[in-house]
Chains A and B, each alone.
Chain A
Amino acid sequence: MIKTVDLHKSFGKLHVLKGVSEHIAPQEVVSIIGPSGGGKSTFLRCLNMMEVPEQGQIFLDGVEITGKKVNVDKYRQRMGMVFQQFNVFPHLTVEKNITLAPVLLKKKTEKEAREMAAELLARVGLSDKLHEHPGRLSGGQKQRLAIVRALAMEPEIMLFDEPTSALDPEMVGEVLSVIKGLVKDGMTTVIVTHEMGFAREISDRVLFMDGGVIAEEGTPEQVFGAPQNARTKEFLSKVLY
């Protein structure tokens, strides 16, 4: 579904990605774990060209999206993204947050979009917030809204960038259970996370990134149960206590 070939990315003098080649299959659920500064988020943000790699290629269903003349907006419509900081639109109602993109980009009529918004909100337990502004929502509610806002574009892939890192502990569960629901429905998912138990439970495959490369990868059982790489072992010993 998404293939990357030898991605390199630098911020100034900082070489963050040092050649990442990956292939994410349809309906696959991939978790990316690893220490801060290891390139996890940058790699994820490269997948939808929010960061433009200075070397390497990205293919979506065999079509290269890293080319100069490519209209990235078209491809981004097929990939949903959820951020650590929610980034819901504070000036719009919950409903408008969801309907803005599908209506603007002519995927849906206003009426269809509204029906879908109601349906999506019901699915994540926010039906009563339809006409509220996000300022009145808790962190967990904001993140659930951010997820359904992305889903309203009917994406083929969902990218999660540490979706629970900015949440109060008691709100982590409600967001994780929404993601779990998506995964069960067969959504292709890439998630950068520090929730090791969650990663282990939902993933088909776990990538351990450190120093700008994928240092180790495998099934959750392999990576968590019997890590081969010394850095993976060290990292896991620090986070699993």
Chain B
Amino acid sequence: MVENFIFIVGKYWKTFLVTGLLGTLELTAIAVAFGIVFGSILALLRRSHFWPLKWLAAIYIEVVRGTPLLLQLYFFYFMIPQWFSALELDKFTCVAIALAFNSAAYVSEVIRSGIQAVERGQNEAARCLGLSHFQSMLYVVMPQAIKNILPALGNEFVMMLKESSLASTFLVGDLMTSYKIVNGATYLTLEPLVFVAMIYFVMTFLISKLVGIFERRMAQSD
């Protein structure tokens, strides 16, 4: 076991750390970055007074949260080449898009609850001074909501880092894909799995700690 482990790490570390980890980080970063953009738009729509938009956003969020991520990956994986064949997107991009659309639903809930956590009196006080709804949101509510939202987005990144492993179903070159490659080449199962687990764990552990430090800094600034 130990010998095999050392052999795997020695021979295939590049496959894991360069190809695999970079692939996973890339997928996660794309998913969360676009997730934040789409998620912000969804959160805005959700707060809209125009009910068709509000309902559309609500339905989207519920459907994404109520169906398995793996199913969503399959859906985008087959849907994009069929409906948007002219774009000629590769499978890595298709999977990244699927993850981004998934992330958007969760991010929009993070933003919504972050805004709701700001006491109602804050908005009332701003409006009483004569500020418009927009000014109140921009100068009073959002600066406070951001403090709730940013740490939660860090956690979303950690979640996505782990969940992007499902992308290996389509062998798109993430960390879990590199496990499958090494497993295929060596017929070893547990040893590469342990190494992959270590990489995932170190990444999520470090990022969680960073988010924690960041969160405390934010809390202090009040």
A residues within 8 Å of B by Cβ? 48, 50, 73-74, 76-77, 79-81, 83, 85, 87-91, 100-101, 104-105, 133, 135, 146, 149-150, 153
Contact = CB atoms under 8 A, between A and B. Distances in A.
Given A87-B119, A90-B144, A104-B135, A76 B129 contact: yes
Chain B contact patch, size range: 20 to 34
6 A-B pairs closest in CB distance: A77-B130, A87-B125, A101-B129, A87-B121, A81-B128, A76-B130
Given A87-B124, A133-B221, 4 more contacts: A74-B130, A81-B125, A89-B140, A135-B222
17 contacts: A50-B124, A50-B127, A73-B127, A73-B131, A73-B132, A76-B129, A80-B129, A81-B125, A81-B128, A85-B121, A87-B122, A88-B125, A89-B126, A89-B140, A91-B221, A101-B129, A149-B125
A89 B143 CA distance: 10
B129 to A, nearest CB: 4
B170 interface: no
Residue from B122, B125, B131, B135 whose CB has the most chain A CB atoms within 10 Å:
B125
Contacts of B131: 73, 101, 104-105
B139 A104 contact: yes
Interface of B: 119, 121-122, 124-132, 135, 139-140, 143-144, 147, 221-222
A90 B144 CA distance: 8
A217 to B, nearest CB: 25
Contacts of B126: 89, 101
B127 to A, nearest CB: 7
B139 A76 contact: no
A183 B14 CA distance: 77
B128 A48 contact: yes
Contacts of A90: 144, 222
A50 B126 CA distance: 11
A76 B132 CA distance: 10
Contacts, number: 65
Nearest to A134: B222
A156 B144 CA distance: 30
A104 B130 CA distance: 10
Contacts of A105: 129-131
B169 to A, nearest CB: 44
Nearest to B133: A73
A148 to B, nearest CB: 12
B143 A91 contact: yes
A48 B125 CA distance: 12
A64 to B, nearest CB: 18
Nearest to A77: B130
Contact of A73 (B124, B130, B143, B221): B130
A83 B125 contact: yes
A89 B221 CA distance: 13
Contact of A133 (B128, B130, B139, B222): B222
A89 B128 contact: no
A74 B127 CA distance: 10
Nearest to B143: A91
Residue from A77, A100, A101, A105 whose CB has the most chain B CB atoms within 10 Å:
A101
